[in-house]
Structure formats: C-alpha cells, structure tokens
C-alpha cells in the first residue's frame, strides 16, 4: 500500500510471498484455489447487477427516479436532499452496488443540489452516505459475496436486509430534513418540479424493476443470478424501446 500498489494486487502479492516464501506447498495450488474460489454461479450476479445499474443511468431511468422522488418530497425545505436519499434507496434496490448508485444518482443530484445552493461538502457527504444504502438494501453485492463465502442462503440474506435498510434510509431522511431547516438550506427546492402524477407516469418502468427482481427471487421463480440477468434485459428493453434514450 505504501508504494501505491492497487489494493487487489497488494493482497495477491502478500499472499504469494507467504505461500512461496514460507511454506513448502506446490505452486500448482495457487491457480487451483483461484479457480475454485471464482467457479461459483452466484458470483455472476455481481457484474450483471452493476451492468443493470449503468444501463439504467444511460437509459434515463435514474433521472426519472429522481423526478419521482422530488415530486413527493420536493415542496418541503430540504426536499432536494431528501430526494437524494430516496432515490439512492430505490436505485440500491436495483443495482445492489454503492458505486453504481453513486454514479447513476450522483450525476443527476450533485449538479442539482449545487444549483440550489447546497454546500459542496454537505452535497458530497450526503451522496456518499446515501449511496451506501446499496450495501444493506437487497440485492446487495456484499451480501452475495458473504453468502458465497459462508454458504449462507442469499435470498435469506436479502430478506434480512430489507427492514434495516428502510430504517437507515428513514433515519437519513429525518436527519437531513432537520439539518437543512437548521442551516436554512433548500428553501427553493420545490421550484420547477413535476406534478406527482406526471412524475409517477414517467418513472413507472423504473419503479417496476425492483418488484421484478425481488418478486422473482422471493417467489422462487429465479435465483439471484438469474434475476440479475433479467434486470439487464429489462434495462435494455426500457432504454431502447420504451424510453428510447439508448
């Protein structure tokens, strides 16, 4: 780390030094163990969920989620900050990735919050914390990794993350609304927002995506990996055919 080697390579190098320098194990064990660790069907869900999140951003679905959340909480002082939390919560229920959530929602929310006078530090901190809802709200990529590593049921882990995720999101909402009122931020957050019916109609396809993913998993129709592939196909369909923005 001290010489700026990437983390993944540093961990690999440290393991190789320990393996070859301080043990008598044959070298063939290294590629065997790497292959065994990666040869797991549930791990394929990770790149597909991230891809689905990126396709949503490219196809206009993330922007419509922002419009939907803002239509309902925008009139309140600090409503734009609350919109950031709500949108990240909804997007996390699709991508399962904090990084994908940060990228897709942040490209819309950060310029908007800066335009309405929110400080840079608060905007960056709120976006970072809100995006971390992707760790706990299913389909969570860290939960997939944990389930694979410990042989724990991934659908059961997803189910266990729903209530804590909603509680964290609720706590964030209350905090930002109180803080914005105390600091005097967000008094014009209701300007130029869509009415609720129009925003809901525009976001309907994006809102159906979490239901499609989690309904398939909990209904016993799909595995998490299959659900991730369906999410990619759905995002492509919406982006190309329905929204026509890809």
Is the whole-model pTM more than 0.85? no
Query: Quick one: pLDDT at residue 175?
Result: 93
**DSSP of 104-139:** HHHHHHHHHHHHTT--HHHHHHHHHHHHTHHHHSSS
Query: Quick one: pLDDT at residue 6?
Result: 93
The two most distant CA atoms of the chain are separated, in Å, by 69
Consecutive H or E run containing 222: none
Quick: pLDDT tens for 161-176.
Answer: 999 999 999 999 999 9
- Per the CB < 8 A criterion, the answer to whether 128 and 151 are in contact is no
Query: Quick one: pLDDT at residue 41?
Result: 83
- Per the CB < 8 A criterion, the answer to whether 54 and 100 are in contact is yes
Quick: pLDDT tens for 11-27.
Answer: 988 988 888 888 887 87
**210 confidence band (pLDDT: 50, 70, 90):** confident
Quick: pLDDT tens for 70-114.
Answer: 888 877 888 889 999 998 998 888 888 888 888 888 888 888 888
Of 43 and 173, more confident = 173
Instruction: Return the structure tokens found at 176.
Output: 């930002």
Quick: pLDDT tens for 113-126.
Answer: 888 889 999 999 99
Closest by CA to 53, choosing from 232, 246, 212, is: 232
């Amino acid at each position: 780390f001290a010489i700026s080697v990437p983390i993944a390579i540093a961990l690999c190098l440290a393991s190789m030094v320990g393996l070859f320098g301080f043990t008598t194990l044959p070298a063939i064990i290294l590629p065997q163990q790497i292959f065994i660790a990666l040869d797991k069907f549930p791990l394929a869900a990770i790149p597909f969920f991230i891809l689905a999140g990126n396709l949503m951003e490219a196809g206009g679905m993330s922007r419509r989620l922002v419009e939907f959340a803002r239509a309902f909480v925008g009139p309140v002082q600090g409503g734009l900050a609350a919109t950031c939390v709500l949108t990240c919560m909804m997007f996390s229920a699709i991508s399962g990735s904090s990084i994908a959530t940060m990228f897709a929602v942040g490209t819309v929310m950060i310029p908007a919050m800066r335009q309405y006078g929110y400080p840079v530090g608060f905007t960056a901190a709120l976006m970072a914390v809100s995006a971390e809802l992707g760790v706990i709200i299913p389909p969570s990529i860290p939960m997939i990794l944990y389930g694979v590593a410990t042989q724990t049921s991934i659908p059961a882990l997803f189910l266990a993350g729903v209530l804590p995720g909603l509680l964290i999101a609720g706590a964030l909402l209350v905090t930002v609304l109180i803080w914005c009122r105390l600091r005097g931020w967000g008094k014009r957050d209701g300007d130029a927002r869509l009415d609720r019916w129009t925003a809901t109609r525009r976001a309907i396809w994006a809102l159906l995506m979490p239901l499609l993913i989690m309904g398939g998993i909990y209904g016993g129709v799909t595995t998490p990996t299959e659900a991730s592939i369906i999410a990619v196909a759905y995002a492509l369909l919406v982006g190309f055919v329905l929204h026509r923005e890809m």
